Chains A and B, each alone.
Chain A
Amino acid sequence: MTRVWAAIVVFLFGAVFAGLAVGYSERTAPSELAMRYLEQVPADLGAANVVTGILITYRGFDTLGEVAVLFMVAASVGMLLSGGRGGSTSPAAVTARPARPPSELVVNGAQVVLPIAFLFGAYVIVNGHLSAGGGFQGGAVVASGVVLLVLGRPSVVLDHGFLSVTESLAGVLYVTLGILGLFFAGGFLDSHILPRGTFGAFVSAGAIPLISALLGIKVAAELSVIIDRFRN
């Protein structure tokens, strides 16, 4: 019976979506807003990657809210997974449990890939204003390296205190940069507090690389904490 109702619901949604897909015609020119962004980000902010410019400066407040969501998720995952489970969360109890050791492939693969993964994550984070990437993307790459680390070496203990301090410091510095924008530039999280520099150079685009790096550190630390919570 459930399946019949589910099939009817999915079919009806499918009919609506089919109408959308058939009626959709590809756009031949960007919208007015997009045109403005495409002109303003290189000219005004000095960032080559328009998406990063939008995310970090024009929609900076939104990005701050998003970071706050990640922070709340890390906190609530910690609360959900550690509360009311006496003893089972300590690392000693985990290592004492007889678990299947990771396969040779994962262990050796982790040794080869880990340095490259962290390096690539750092590269993606600090080149967000020049090419595809940015704080969130690079942070996710670093965190996936951490997943590989805990898969390859199950005995490794991540220092939650260190990660929390790093993450909080990055968050405080991010908000401080935003407040500096209120005094020295056009408003909260305005990246004009630093000089624009040469277009396309590594040190350019005002405060965007700095904010991007802080975001990357914060996201990487937060995701690592979330991942580690699921392990224990």
Chain B
Amino acid sequence: MERAMGLPISHLLLVTGLVLVLIGMWGVLVHRNILRIIIGFSLFGTGTHIVLVATGYVTGGTAPIIDRALPVGEAGARAVDPVPSALVVTAIVIGFSVTAIMLSYAIRLYEARKTLSIDAFTESKW
């Protein structure tokens, strides 16, 4: 349960998250289509969330919810760190907000130039 393909589960999550961050970064830097850049930012954010959750994992831990499977007395010994989970809930909502704002700007930019290519917007370029 705690190991997958010979790696501890938190390592696997950490690597997945970091790779997603790199893919998102590549997408933001290379693509010229504004929608693809936004997708890159979303991947970047998702990767960061996975990394945060991975750092909260405690060996052999389960979800920090007290029920029959996790009595109150064992919570300290067998639960994962609840703080990163709580922070990621916040981060997901903020990530959604940022994506919504980026998409509405994309719509306005498309209306201005009738294209989604970032190359059409040269006013702020030096």
Contact = CB atoms under 8 A, between A and B. Distances in A.
Interface residues of A, number: 57
Contacts of A169: none
B22 A63 contact: no
A141 to B, nearest CB: 13
Given A27-B59, A62-B90, A80-B108, A50 B14 contact: no
B94 to A, nearest CB: 6
Interface residues of B, number: 47
A24 B76 contact: no
A226 to B, nearest CB: 5
Contacts of B108: 80-81
B46 to A, nearest CB: 15
A132 B63 contact: yes
B67 A131 contact: yes
A98 interface: no
B79 A29 contact: no
A202 to B, nearest CB: 14
Interface in A56-112: 59, 62-63, 66, 69-70, 73, 76-77, 80-81, 85
A133 to B, nearest CB: 10
A49 B29 contact: no
B11 to A, nearest CB: 7
Interface string A11-55: 001100100110010111111011101110111000011110011
18 contacts: A6-B29, A10-B29, A13-B25, A17-B21, A24-B55, A28-B58, A38-B75, A42-B66, A42-B75, A51-B89, A59-B86, A69-B94, A70-B97, A81-B107, A85-B111, A134-B89, A136-B93, A219-B93
Query: Top 9 nearest A-B pairs by Cβ distance?
Result: A6-B29, A50-B64, A73-B97, A80-B104, A17-B18, A34-B81, A50-B82, A54-B86, A48-B66
Interface of A: 2-3, 5-6, 9-10, 13-14, 17, 20-21, 24, 26-31, 33-35, 37-39, 41-43, 48-51, 54-55, 59, 62-63, 66, 69-70, 73, 76-77, 80-81, 85, 131-132, 134, 136-137, 199-200, 219, 223, 226, 229-230
